[in-house]
Amino acid sequence: MLFNTLRYAEFFAAVFVGSWALVRFAGIRARVVFLLLVSYGFYAAWDWRYLPLIFASSTVDFLLARAIAREARPRARRAMLIATVALNLGFLGFFKYWNFALENAAALRALLTGEPASVGHAFRVLLPPVGISFFTFESMSYVIDVYRGELPPHRSYLRYLLFVAFFPHLVAGPIVRPRDLLPQFERAPSLTREEGGEGLFLVAIGLVKKVVLSDQLALNLVDRVFERPENYSALEVLAGVYGYAAQIYCDFSGYTDIAIGSALLLGVRFPKNFDAPYKAQNLADFWRRWHISLSTWLRDYLYIPLGGNRGSELATYRNLMITMLLGGLWHGASWNFVFWGFLHGLGLAVTRAFQRAVRRRRPEGEGAGTAARSSLAGFPIRALCVLLTFHYVCLAWVFFRVPTFSQAVLILRQIGTLTTFHPNLPPVLVALLAVALLSHYVPERLYERARGAFIAAPAPLQGALLFLVAVSLHEAASAAAVPFVYFQF
């Protein structure tokens, strides 16, 4: 059930009315049960066969967390933690990476024996359950937090099941921490006029990003260029790479806007997941702005446990590289994703080394006053850093997008021809690409003013604006709804 379909709008309208009616006439517990049932129904609409998986994994983690909290013996607690991590990663590995492992084993056998590489269909598993990477990380983080003593075990089994399965974040995040979401299911929900206006604003913005910008760039530029780059000039292929950077941002941040807005309309607030990532001045800054819920999860549950930056510089670089390699593999069962993670790990290591070198060379006593005086003079340098960071991210996106390394090499080689004819770049397409990328540089205060103006507007004016958005979406929509990019992860 895609967010960008009429079916979801009908589903959400029914959930909205039912949820708030239950709050008024039946109480919080009835609302929790209702939201849990509709969330399971939402997931079953994708593939009902995987519904027992999400239920079973949630149940096991709930029970293990309670057992860990009761247990005083360190070895027993650690054994139960290892058990829950092994179960969660086992589920994730089997469904997401089994076919990948078989294909690589077949390729290695073919290399050693000279026989053709093939994997029998009897050994393949079903397609991975949608959203398994997201709900696995959320449930696993709950048990880890209980083990660390950062969170008490939750008392309500039903509320915990809802935390994992709550439909706005179930399929593609954001990865919501238990300490942020579970308390919201404990208290009576509320929906002020301002929160309702903010929720509608976010849903509308998310749909525009997805349908008007992302889908149009994908269908009319990105998909064509990446499928047959040899048919296009260097300028057109470069525009296709820029287009993919814009597409994946508008697609994923658009999904997140709709998810946050949908949850807010139900009285639940999710954390921010994007912050104009292409404004980043270096790769570390990029990861503070891109998919924030994943980058902070990797930091807190992988990078820091590995040692973070507490050891030697070499150990820190190793920890960065391991984190990003596994972050790449998290995205999908492909060596392209692993290489994408390698590029980001390498970039983060170089960024850290450069920043340390600059700090060592900075004269003692240089402080905030000096920095303020040089702010204007440093603008060209900052702009250059933004430009370099963006292009490095785009280089990595090439390997993220293509199915094979040879296809990535073909795209980069085509850009290297430096040809400039561009019959496949009509002005309207260039304008869409410019809007999608330059919107990053709109001052935050202007966005806040637009949001505030919509929230403060009378209901009839809000309705009229939403109607205009709906008309624009209808005119821009393709014949069939285009799935969100991150649904594959």
Instruction: Write down the catalytic residue from 291, 331, 440, 474.
Output: 331
Q: Report whether pLDDT(122) > 60.
A: no
Place 226 in a pLDDT band, splitting at 50, 70 and 90.
very high
Place 103 in a pLDDT band, splitting at 50, 70 and 90.
confident
Tokens of 317: 């670089």
Q: Measure the CA–CA gap between 410 and 235, rounded to whole angstroms.
A: 14
DSSP sequence for 14-48: HHHHHHHHHHHHT-HHHHHHHHHHHHHHHHHHHHG
Place 269 in a pLDDT band, splitting at 50, 70 and 90.
very high
Q: Measure the CA–CA gap between 375 and 428, rounded to whole angstroms.
A: 37
Q: What is the pLDDT of residues 296-337, one digit of tens each?
A: 999 999 999 999 888 889 999 999 999 999 999 888 778 899
Q: Measure the CA–CA gap between 364 and 386, rounded to whole angstroms.
A: 27
DSSP H or E segment with residue 453: helix 444-456
Q: Which residue has the tokens 């809000």?
A: 462
Task: For 442, list phi and psi in degrees, rounded to 5.
Answer: -70, 130
Q: What is the model's pLDDT at position 124? A: 59
- Among residues 298, 286, 242, 261, the alpha carbon closest in space to that of 437 is found at 242
Q: Report whether pLDDT(341) > 80.
A: yes
Q: Measure the CA–CA gap between 125 and 107, rounded to whole angstroms.
A: 18
Q: What is the model's pLDDT at position 374? A: 47
Q: Measure the CA–CA gap between 238 and 179, rounded to whole angstroms.
A: 43
Domain segments of the chain as ranges? 37-103+136-189, 195-360+377-488
291 is catalytic: no
Q: Measure the CA–CA gap between 456 and 459, rounded to whole angstroms.
A: 9
Rounded mean pLDDT, 237-254: 95
Global pTM value = 0.90
Taking a C-beta distance cutoff of 8 angstroms, is the pair 16, 191 a contact?
A: no
Q: What is the pLDDT of residues 342-378, one digit of tens each?
A: 999 999 999 999 888 888 776 655 554 444 444 545 7
Rounded mean pLDDT, 267-281: 94
